[in-house]
Amino acid sequence: MLDSILESIRVVALPTKTDFRSVKVREVALFEGPAGWGEFSPFLEYDANECVPWLVSGIEAALVEAPRPLRQEISVNATLPALNTREEIAEVLSWYPGCSTVKVKVGASLREDLARIATVRELLPDAQIRIDVNGNWSVKEALASINAIHENGGLQYVEQPCETLEELRELKSRLQIPVLIAGDEVIRKSADPLGLDLQGVVDIVMLKVAPLGGIKRCLEIAKVHGLPVVVSSALDSAVGISYGLKLAAALPELKYACGLGTGQLLISDVAILPIVDGIIAVNSVTPDVVALNQYAISPQRLDWWRSRVRDTWSAGAQEWVAKVGWEW
């Protein structure tokens, strides 16, 4: 199996429209298998152990047919990085035609956060606002910030306001206003996301298919915790986004718009998944040959990615694949 991946692997460097998670060029490894294309795109700073579920997810996508879809279209949110001028914010929102939900990155400066959210409300007065903190607040900061933001208009939910399970549980117990809490990093960075006790911790489970090891495992996590789910992405290429769409399509219930529109943050992609009236159609994706060639990395960099795949395989992906019984 490892040889098959390494033989077909193509790696591209996709430029972004704006600085997102300090990423200005997104490197993505793609490989083709019997069921289609898989993506392996952990962020460059991740070590081999953290990369394991990303590789397993890509292998699943390339090797295993996706579950039967229960819906053919997925509503998506706009994603607004931590930008501060009205012109920048308006430009980013224009990339998401018809989206009625906006996820706003916050957490560095409450004053700037309030101004950013106010600008979004001014530009899209009917939009649902959700904020993503990436665990950057203490409990004390979260209480003060959530209250301040809520006073200026309602929030659909707050994603990962604090870093740890214990902090989130304390925050939930002390929060006196009707604001929902969503868990992202606390789930996907856990050694055992299936075994977490999320009662009294979060109201919504964020599922990102690649960091959690694929669709099958994400569906298991959703079933175990029995909470509403939002499927999101990790600045994937269209190949990875298409797999997230298939997860969203397979969930028994899908109450909220999903964070699967992040392809709009890329200047170029390997395929097109257009947003039409706030919706992306569920489709399999085949990378465009021209894009694969145009954005291909150097041979030396390709060697680095091949080594990364080998290291990740040895760090746990091989054992994971053997346990589930996949063969290629």
Check if 140 is active-site: no
Sequence-distant (≥ 6) Cβ neighbours of residue 312 within 8 angstroms = 40, 48, 51, 52, 54, 55
- Using an 8 Å Cβ cutoff, are 104 and 131 in contact? yes
The single residue of 17, 24, 172, 208 carrying the catalytic annotation is: 208
How far from chain centre, in Å, is Cα 40?
Answer: 13
Please classify residue 221 by burial: count the beta carbons closer than 10 Å to its beta carbon, then call 0-12 exposed, 13-18 middle and 19+ buried: buried
Q: Six-digit token pair at 7?
A: 């033989």
Query: Which of 17, 24, 103, 105 does the annotation list as catalytic?
Result: 105
Handedness of CA 182, 188, 190, 195 (dihedral sign): positive
Check if 17 is active-site.
Answer: no
Residues 72, 13: Cα–Cα separation, whole Å: 30
Residue 225, number of CB atoms within 10 A of its CB: 21
User: Catalytic residue positions?
Assistant: 105, 208
